Amino acid sequence: MASLISPTAAATTQKPLTPPRSRITTTAAAANPTTSTARRNFLSLSAIALFLAPAAAEPAVAASDDEYVKETEEVISKVKSTITLDKTDPNVATAVAELRETSNSWVAKYRREKALLGRASFRDMYSALNAVSGHYISFGPTAPIPAKRRQRILEEMETAEKALLRGR
């Protein structure tokens, strides 16, 4: 009767297969146990260094409040001069390209500053730069900004300037 056992019943009673070990690791570890310990220590330290490295290698943040004020005033003057250019001016495309580069670098630098996120000057500048960039991305660098949008941008620039003067 022992020969009448079904193949599925025999399969369920077998031991599960263990994954095969690498011959290289097994023989290297057996030949020199200090090598595997040294390798393990090296890998552990490397992993720790990788986690700590980004914190030490982050790009420089705003050095001071004075730097923020100075750079924000420069961006404000650049925005005002660019959006008030005449549509027929031959330098419009270059001025818009320079403005986009300046505004992108300003936003990239100060967007990560937690201390600046609540400031009125940052909020107004960010909003105005977003409106200007959005317009030129959508309609091209030579398209004039509509009067209503231009007025709102200029008002946001003025309030940002006032907030800067008050230290906000």
Q: How confident is the model at residue 16 (pLDDT cuts 50, 70, 90)?
A: confident
Q: How confident is the model at residue 141 (pLDDT cuts 50, 70, 90)?
A: confident
Give 147-153's long-range contacts (Cβ < 8 A, gap of 24+).
Answer: 150/83, 153/79, 153/83, 153/128
Tens digit of pLDDT for each residue in 107-137? 898 888 887 888 888 899 999 999 999 998 8
15 phi/psi in degrees, rounded to 5: -75, 145
Cα angle for residues 23, 27, 32 (degrees, 5° grid): 150
Indicate yes or no: pTM above 0.75.
no
Q: Once rounded to an integer, what is the mean pLDDT over residues 42-56?
A: 56
Q: How confident is the model at residue 2 (pLDDT cuts 50, 70, 90)?
A: low
